[in-house]
Amino acid sequence: MERAAGPVLYQKLLVSEPSLESEDEEEKLSEWLIPDLSGTQDSSGSKAGSLPRACAQLVAALLLLAVGFSLAVRQLHSSGGSPGTLGSGAPATSGHAHGPGVYHHGGIISPSATCSYLGRELLVAGGNVVDAGVGAALCLAVVHPHATGLGAMFWGLFHNSSSGNSTALTSGPAQTLAPGLGLPSALPALHLLHARFGRLPWPHLLAGPTTLAQEGFLVDTSLAMALAAQGTEGLCPLLCHTDGTPLGPGAQATNPKLAAVLQGAARAPTPDLAGDALLSLLAGDLGLEGPSAGPMPTLEPALQLPVPQGTLFTTPSPSGGPELLEVLEAALQSRGPGPAPCPPLPPATVPTGSSVLATVDSSGSVLLLVSSLNSSFGSGHLSPSTGVLLSNLVAKSATSAWVCPLILRGSSDDTEADMLGLVTSGTPAAARVVTHALLSHLVGPQTQAQQGPTESPSACGQGTLLQVAAHAEHAHVSSVPGGCCPFQGV
């Protein structure tokens, strides 16, 4: 495990904000182009060198019009993709343009446009990839209650470019809160990760998700489709119209009870207190005598496997990480880095659905997060005091085959070694999808880490594959399918 002494430092993200640059430039251009046309006044009070008033006003108006038009053109060219689009972010400070998914500083990819944009704003505010990833994960807990939430289990894989270490966030074996209901571990896990590696204050990360829960968020296509398939039993009034029908795309939903939980978590000084406050409320809802023993998330060294191209990292047991490395090692030894067919894997006992996100910066720091309620909307049990949906991921389904994020760090002999992160969701064959994607990446040779996944995960099982990379001082993000996951960057 990494040494706990001292704060973790990152290379600063030199964020380029077009709006701020435009305001500064307007002031400078105004001072340079528009002289004081009223003239200067000498000590006796007489004006020297003044133009006739009408002429002065005309010249000033023309100059202001020219400046405004110039700045409008600049702003039009420098604006990135709007929230929810697959556009590039702010241009690099050198002025060169980037294609979609290529950023000069950092990028984030998630299943929600709202949460991708929130992660971007945390990067703009001076946060690092952990701040952006944890903030986006808390956002997903609000806007995607069908796939994740405070009742979910969270796992993570973080590579720190400053120390060169890779660390796994582990939730440990699934535990039971009550019969059929999993013990929530999201708040303690995310708080622990942020406390160890984050830069921004913890309350800053909860501000956006709290506002969404309190003031409302728009139901996106993913949530609407899950509602249509699931029905509204147990989910009203949170996700229902007054007549009991499910909310559709574009409808607004609020969760004030969840907002109150997030506000309480923002004031918690430790992960234990953040989790205990939620457990106390849940115990009251379920009629339990007292809160169960809190979850025990940990941070521990990631599993690693040396390969000719560098080093592979993943999460330890009870995740699917160890099996992933075994399959990769066998595939690389038997076939080499070539286009391999879908490798055989032990059958998954539980077809768990999950939610994932990924963040990366141009220095090579990468964070991959994956969470699960086990099935759509988990247990379907909505806690009235907290607005939290509890999972049905309990002890008998503790084998977490759905957890197998992977990071490939290029050879240490290369001073400009690439970083590559792969994580998948929505399939019980997650390890097979990641394995196939990595082997496809290594074919060829493929030296440009910015090239997105070219192989469809459908060849190895349906799912969503996220890829992030750092290459040549740029951050790169992509996904398969291409339109599934909006990404943002700066």
Quick check: helix, strand or coil at residue 170?
strand
Instruction: For residue 303, tell me if it sits in a domain.
Output: yes
Residues 6+ apart with CB under 8 A from 206: 135, 138, 262, 263, 265, 266
Integer Rg of the chain from CA: 25
pLDDT at position 433 is 82
Query: No. of H helices and E strands in the chain?
Result: 11, 22
**With 60 as the cut, is the pLDDT of residue 82 above it?**
no
What DSSP string describes 293-339? PPP--EEEEPEEEEETTEEEEE--TTBSHHHHHHHHHHHHHHH-SS-
Span of 136-145, 369-378, 395-404, 434-443 with lowest mean pLDDT: 395-404
Give the pLDDT confidence of 187-218 residue by residue, as tens digits.
Answer: 999 999 999 999 999 999 999 999 999 999 99
Same domain, 205 and 295: yes
Cα–Cα distance, 133 to 193 (Å, whole number): 10
Token reading at 67:
């400046």
Instruction: For residue 162, tell me if it sits in a domain.
Output: yes
Element containing residue 285 per DSSP (H, E): helix 271-286
What DSSP string describes 462-489? S-EEEEEEEETTEEEEEEESTTSS-EEE
Q: What is the 3-state secondary structure (H, E, C) of 56-113?
A: HHHHHHHHHHHHHHHHHHHHHHHCCCCCCCCCCCCCCCCCCCCCCCEECCEEEECCCH
Instruction: For residue 238, tell me if it sits in a domain.
Output: no
Q: Compute the average pLDDT of residues 437-458.
A: 60
Among residues 161, 159, 109, 175, the alpha carbon closest in space to that of 137 is found at 109
DSSP state of 459: G
pLDDT confidence bin for 352, thresholds 50/70/90: low
Contact 117, 100 (CB under 8 A): no
pLDDT confidence bin for 452, thresholds 50/70/90: low
Cα–Cα distance, 187 to 440 (Å, whole number): 36
Same domain, 410 and 299: yes
**With 70 as the cut, is the pLDDT of residue 354 above it?**
yes
What's the mean per-residue pLDDT of the chain? 77
Among residues 361, 332, 358, 330, the alpha carbon closest in space to that of 344 is found at 330
Cα–Cα distance, 82 to 233 (Å, whole number): 35
Same domain, 385 and 470: yes
Tally of domains within the chain = 2
Same domain, 182 and 287: yes
Same domain, 316 and 380: yes
Instruction: For residue 323, tell me if it sits in a domain.
Output: yes
Q: Compute the average pLDDT of residues 292-300.
A: 83
Instruction: For residue 412, tell me if it sits in a domain.
Output: yes
Residue predicted with more confidence, 327 or 141? 141
pLDDT at position 36 is 39
- Structure pTM? 0.78
Strand duo 303-307 + 40-41: pairing = unpaired
Helix residue ranges, H only, 107-234: 113-124, 129-143, 186-197, 202-215, 221-230
Half-sphere exposure of 193 (CA within 13 A, CB side): 33
Instruction: For residue 243, tell me if it sits in a domain.
Output: no
Same domain, 132 and 70: no
Same domain, 121 and 66: no
Instruction: For residue 90, tell me if it sits in a domain.
Output: no
Based on the number of CB atoms within 10 Å of its own CB, is 5 exposed (0-12), middle (13-18) or buried (19 or more)? exposed
Instruction: For residue 329, tell me if it sits in a domain.
Output: yes
Cα–Cα distance, 269 to 198 (Å, whole number): 14
Same domain, 142 and 71: no
Instruction: Give the residue carrying structure tokens 């090692």.
Output: 329
Token reading at 416:
């400009």
Same domain, 26 and 166: no
Type of residue numbered 481: P
Give the pLDDT confidence of 39-64 residue by residue, as tens digits.
Answer: 344 433 444 444 445 554 544 444 44
Same domain, 33 and 165: no
Same domain, 355 and 270: yes
pLDDT confidence bin for 399, thresholds 50/70/90: low
Quick check: helix, strand or coil at residue 158?
strand
pLDDT confidence bin for 431, thresholds 50/70/90: confident
Quick check: helix, strand or coil at residue 48?
strand
Cα–Cα distance, 137 to 135 (Å, whole number): 5
Same domain, 281 and 334: yes
Q: Compute the average pLDDT of residues 339-356.
A: 59
Contacts for 439-442: CB closer than 8 Å, 24+ residues apart = 439/328, 439/331, 439/332, 439/335, 439/337, 439/338, 439/339, 439/340, 440/339, 441/408, 442/309, 442/337, 442/338
Domain that holds residue 133: 102-216+254-489
